[in-house]
Structure 1
């Protein structure tokens, strides 16, 4: 039975022998480092009751990290920090005019100045999900803190821009129900596909938008089966709508390989298995990846083609890769048989447990994925109804 139906969430750390005290203590330490440690924190508070998360490798604030921070905060019952991040997002990142009115600028300087006037859809979908959870956990208030209305309005923009005289383009392809890498472009990012979010949007969005998200959830689960290699399980950073790697050279680079964005795909599949358990074949993917890599050190060795061909390209986020592989263990049922699939998954969870948070300038992305994985594996990444 899925967690959505039962309200019961696995604690895989406990399944592999960690104690409640060990898990709780470790989570408190991680949260303190991520949000409050003067040397290592990602989160920073500003005047006006606001706060932002900074991408330490690029010295900016991104909708990816801001929306991630809000999801972390609602899971951890940190409403003050949630509201600060949301207020910063609405004050500096939200666009009120032009083609992208109703969306968020994907990157801003830490003083709030926009670096771009385009959005990144993974930010919008995480904003909406975090806002719905905040509404259900803490209740709506006035203005921008009427969380549920903000979420509904955002999702409505995401699928209806360009209709009835509205300027701009939607974030989903209206023909195949797949989320786009950016609005108006002809390809997708497999790690943006979050069917477990769309199932909930189909319950809580405006009534006229719910059927769209029901179809999007089905489309994304089917897409993930085709986007992940049948032997290695690896997906590309960018993919065509049929799931094949998007190998076209773009002005900002080539993204048809298994690299940083793609790490999240396995973690997303794991959380979907926990929350809803609707398997279209995608739940076999993480075990294929675990068997392909064999060890955590092999996984962090280099980038790969999706067929497993190694590339002369170093991994930028080795801690994040280990974290997402560990989170994907949620697809594999518990077993005490030493020769079971869970025995393979257990190795990855142990490797992750023994891996500290990353330090240094590249820590932002790794540690975001790390905190999400710890929440998921400890039973603390939950649906708030």
Structure 2
């Protein structure tokens, strides 16, 4: 289970107020240019067939496994647009835009169109906010019950980011359909709202009271970077793990033409931001950060610590290097974070640390999180940018030997585990226009 209660608490509160380095063998221009994707699983000694079979087996377990102990995806009947499917955070009994958008990314990458369309149909049917008077109009409610009832009217920008990217890949890989399956049009709507949606103030119910609430764009204009939430607050801030420069480069190419310059600048801003927000020795990033990279110190759980959200940050900069090869500093960051976690014991490090490397122990009562599979995965993905290839192989082998998450922790750990295997196996790719 991922005890990441910061987002829920935030929405509530604002309603009221040492091995020698070796050179990476891949072309430095990046996979977008070369079309060549490294397979770190093969580089670590596993066969290409075994790597593919492991990825497919992981998908089958998480999407079609035992419903009580393995699966996180569930069929949910049909409507006028076809079959419905949701991805659930099993431990917290809800459906999140994070998991739904990850599910769409996984399924488009693995050419699972039926599952992709089912997840997108559920998201548009239940999560999308279509009321023009609603503060979060044109966004998706970040948390719903499995029957589609909203737990929150707030939106979380990481969900919109993965929705948009997955839809663009779907448009390029499968072609566009009609209605909600016009993937290109749906992606462009999301991207336009993220940048340009005007502030809307409306009334929402909170603890039996009607209160005013204002929501604006998800992207900050200057500096151009993603916000933690689109809700208007006195001191807006960001989440380092939401920064996806590898995606922004593609949005500049394939998204609304008027935003080409914005997304190009946002990509470079995020690359510079990774260096600013990570600790210069450990490479650890905080859960939440100010625009200058400094950690946000607040009442939120682990806001200024390297915790559950922050696990994803290293994967984001490493994939950016793998695809684009534009920011050599990302290689230094990968070496730094892998050296740190190796020093903590590559098979025993915990989930939460201070930025300077103090182990804060597992969250009380969650003993299965002592050495979380999701973090094992993202640390292995850091090998895509690392210069120390022998150390990177040790992280890849650590992930290979980690079982597919099951039980209570299978949602967040499982999604990161799944996507990490795909990144490492060369099965998470840029799907461009034909």
Q: TM-score, structure 1 length as denominator?
A: 0.94
Structure 2 residue 168 is matched with structure 1 residue 132: yes
- Choose the corresponding residue for 1:196, options 246, 251, 272: 246
Report the equivalent of 1:187.
Answer: 237
In 1, Cα distance between equivalents of 2:302 and 2:389: 35
- Choose the corresponding residue for 1:152, options 184, 188, 195: 188
In 1, Cα distance between equivalents of 2:303 and 2:201: 34
* Deviation per residue, 1:86-129 (Å, 9 max, x gap): 00000000001211110000000001111110100000000000
Cα offset for 1:164? 11
> Helix, strand or coil: the match of 1:26?
helix
Structure 2 residue 384 is matched with structure 1 residue 330: yes
> Greater relative contact order: 1 or 2 (C-alpha under 8 angstroms, separation 6 or more)?
2
Where does structure 2 lack aligned partners over 5 or more consecutive residues? 1-28, 203-213
Cα offset for 1:154? 0.7
Cα offset for 1:219? 0.6
Report the equivalent of 1:99.
Answer: 135
Matches within 5 A, 1:346-365: 346-365=393-412
Where does structure 1 lack aligned partners over 5 or more consecutive residues? 334-340
Runs of 4+ in 1 over 6 A off after TM superposition: 163-167
- Choose the corresponding residue for 1:278, options 314, 326, 333: 326
Q: TM-score, structure 2 length as denominator?
A: 0.84
In 2, Cα distance between equivalents of 1:159 and 1:88: 24
In 1, Cα distance between equivalents of 2:431 and 2:65: 28
- Choose the corresponding residue for 1:2, options 30, 37, 47: 30
Report the equivalent of 1:321.
Answer: 375
Bigger proportion of residues as strand: 2
> Helix, strand or coil: the match of 1:351?
helix
> Helix, strand or coil: the match of 1:54?
strand
Report the equivalent of 1:309.
Answer: 358
Contact 2:136 2:200 (C-alpha < 8 Å) held by counterparts = no
In 2, Cα distance between equivalents of 1:309 and 1:146: 48
Matches within 5 A, 1:212-223: 212-223=262-273
> Helix, strand or coil: the match of 1:72?
helix
RMSD between aligned alpha carbons?
1.7
Cα offset for 1:204? 1.0
Cα offset for 1:24? 2.0
Contact 2:338 2:382 (C-alpha < 8 Å) held by counterparts = no
In 1, Cα distance between equivalents of 2:62 and 2:349: 24
- Choose the corresponding residue for 1:239, options 283, 289, 297: 289
Report the equivalent of 1:47.
Answer: 77
Contact 2:163 2:187 (C-alpha < 8 Å) held by counterparts = yes
Cα offset for 1:332? 2.5
Contact 1:221 1:280 (C-alpha < 8 Å) held by counterparts = no
Report the equivalent of 2:11.
Answer: none
Structure 2 residue 198 is matched with structure 1 residue 162: yes
In 2, Cα distance between equivalents of 1:165 and 1:199: 32
Report the equivalent of 2:341.
Answer: 293
In 1, Cα distance between equivalents of 2:353 and 2:200: 44
Structure 2 residue 60 is matched with structure 1 residue 32: yes
Cα offset for 1:158? 0.7
> Helix, strand or coil: the match of 2:170?
helix
* Deviation per residue, 1:197-222 (Å, 9 max, x gap): 00000011111122111111111111
Residue correspondences, number: 375
Farther-moved stretch of structure 1 (133-142 vs 316-325): 316-325
